[in-house]
Amino acid sequence: MCLKNNWIKKLCFLLLCALLSNSAGAQFWKSSSKTRKVNSGNKYPIKATTKPSPKVEKKKEVRKKQSVNLPVSVAKTRYRIDVLLPLYLDDLVIDDKVIFKGKIPDRAQAGINFYEGIQLAVDTLTQMGYKTDVYVHDINAKDTTIELLLQNGVLKNTDLILGYVSNADVLTLANYAAKNHVNFISAFSPSDANIIDNPYFFLLNPTLENNCNALVASIIKKQKDNPIIIIKRESIAVDSSAYRYIVEAYQDKELKTVDCSLLPDSAELVSVLDSAETNIVIMPIMDAYYAEKMIQNFKKYFPTYRFEIYGMPTWKGITTNRKMIELGSQYSINITQPYYFESANSLGQSIAQQYKTTFGGVPNELTYRGFELVFWLTDLLNKYGTIFNEKTSDKQMAPFTKYELKPKWDKENKFYYYENKHLYLFQFQSGTFKVQ
């Protein structure tokens, strides 16, 4: 039977990798138990926050930052990376037969795209002479959940764990990493699971607090002393947390606020808006579609007003839709994002051509993320050994993303974990897109 459809070719390629365990230095393990439920709540964890305490005459003694306690790095002639991905292969293929029609289901598409990037990276690294084995585990397959992977000792010989996992699994893997002195890179979830004193945990997708701090820093740099309006929604817990992070980042600056737990009418908004100047508006509202309704109300009530709007990282999906583009040049929408992949440069074009040849079609952001992470982390292992924690400033093999993996400390200089502090500011206006 001739397989012509691209989606069939993709699945057959995955199945082939599952059967041929020694191909091109990469190994694919089908494993996992019953389908896991993805956290249905907002992916950004909620933390209780408070405004800074009033200043007192006697300053509290703050201890100095101590060096992070790490074991000696081990150099090897060959390294092993274990990647945990939600591929749902057991839901897609039964008895070697594809059981769905049309395109690959959405629940599986993201993991497959990430895997495709990994496979392209492995092929490239093999040609370059790197000696690293990459094991990919389908954490939504039949026989191995994350718990069983750990229980059965499947990861006992790993040199690095790379996880595209949900919030609920972060703490389990971070604890395992600390116990076994192996680094765990959380590539997807922005949850830190309230982890403290774990030098083996790396959070690549910055927390909500980090996003809010970066947003405020960008506004202060660009807007200086211009009046700031906050459209808040404290009736929703995660929005309330985002609002408090922003207020804390501004410290003592007076901010105009409007509550939009119920969409406000023109009478509630007119007192804080300016018809003559550009209105600088921050909207710590995680629900992108609720935020879109709010912005559409600006257009409805104040058609001649100008707005510079700063929103949440969850808004990316709405920034390029038709209704938002039709708002026109009067509206500029800015959001923070941890990744930006320049597909037009030489490497981006090379990956796109490699993808077209191998899989057909065009790579997406998750493909580039999978490629870059395995490409970069393999290089760090081979240069610096198993504990490369203090060497992540070497981004020679991270060609797209300006990672800044820094130790996270609390206000008393207690160490938490390593977090990516770098965030891009995406600006959308009239269908155009800028990265700052």
Same domain, 267 and 145: no
Domain annotation covers residue 120: yes
Domain annotation covers residue 48: no
CB–CB of 174/185 below 8 Å? no
Residue 136 DSSP SS3: strand
- Closest by Cα among 6, 165, 20, 15 to 89: 15
Same domain, 322 and 349: no
Same domain, 169 and 266: no
Residue-by-residue DSSP string for 309-334? EE--GGGGGTTTSHHHHTT-TTEEEE
Same domain, 218 and 333: yes
Residue type, 154: V
CA 221 to chain CA centroid, nearest Å: 25
Does residue 4 surpass a pLDDT of 60? no
Strand pairing category for 307-310 and 132-138: unpaired
pLDDT for position 91: 82
Domain annotation covers residue 285: yes
Does residue 22 surpass a pLDDT of 60? no
Same domain, 313 and 357: no
Q: What is the domain extent for residue 267? A: 209-337+426-435
Domain annotation covers residue 353: yes
Same domain, 355 and 396: yes
pLDDT for position 249: 93
pLDDT for position 21: 33
pLDDT for position 343: 85
Does residue 58 surpass a pLDDT of 70? no
Domain annotation covers residue 64: no
CA 257 to chain CA centroid, nearest Å: 29
Same domain, 79 and 199: yes
Same domain, 12 and 142: yes
Same domain, 87 and 116: yes
- Please report which confidence band the pLDDT of residue 59 belongs to, taking 50, 70 and 90 as the band edges: low
Same domain, 114 and 188: yes
Number of helices (H), then strands (E), belonging to the chain: the values are 12, 17
- Please report which confidence band the pLDDT of residue 285 belongs to, taking 50, 70 and 90 as the band edges: very high
Domain annotation covers residue 54: no
- Please report which confidence band the pLDDT of residue 142 belongs to, taking 50, 70 and 90 as the band edges: confident
Q: For the segment 320-338, what is each residue's pLDDT rounded down to a tens digit?
A: 888 888 898 999 999 999 9
Residue type, 20: L
Q: For the segment 72-123, what is each residue's pLDDT rounded down to a tens digit?
A: 999 999 999 999 999 998 888 877 777 777 778 888 899 999 999 999 999 9
Does residue 9 surpass a pLDDT of 70? no
Task: Tell me the CATH number at 120.
Answer: 3.40.50.2300
Q: For the segment 178-222, what is each residue's pLDDT rounded down to a tens digit?
A: 999 999 999 999 999 999 999 999 999 999 999 999 999 999 988
Domain annotation covers residue 63: no
How many structural domains is the chain composed of? 2
Same domain, 94 and 172: yes
The CA-CA-CA angle for residues 139, 140, 142, to 5°, reads 100
Same domain, 84 and 166: yes
Is the Cα torsion angle 5, 10, 13, 19 positive or negative in sign? negative
The least confident of 5-9, 177-181, 203-207, 309-313 is: 5-9
Domain annotation covers residue 1: no
Q: Residues 58-66: what's their mean pLDDT?
A: 57
CB–CB of 207/190 below 8 Å? yes
CB–CB of 132/374 below 8 Å? no
pLDDT for position 157: 95
Q: For the segment 228-263, what is each residue's pLDDT rounded down to a tens digit?
A: 999 999 899 999 999 999 999 998 788 899 999 999
Q: What is the mean pLDDT of the chain?
A: 85
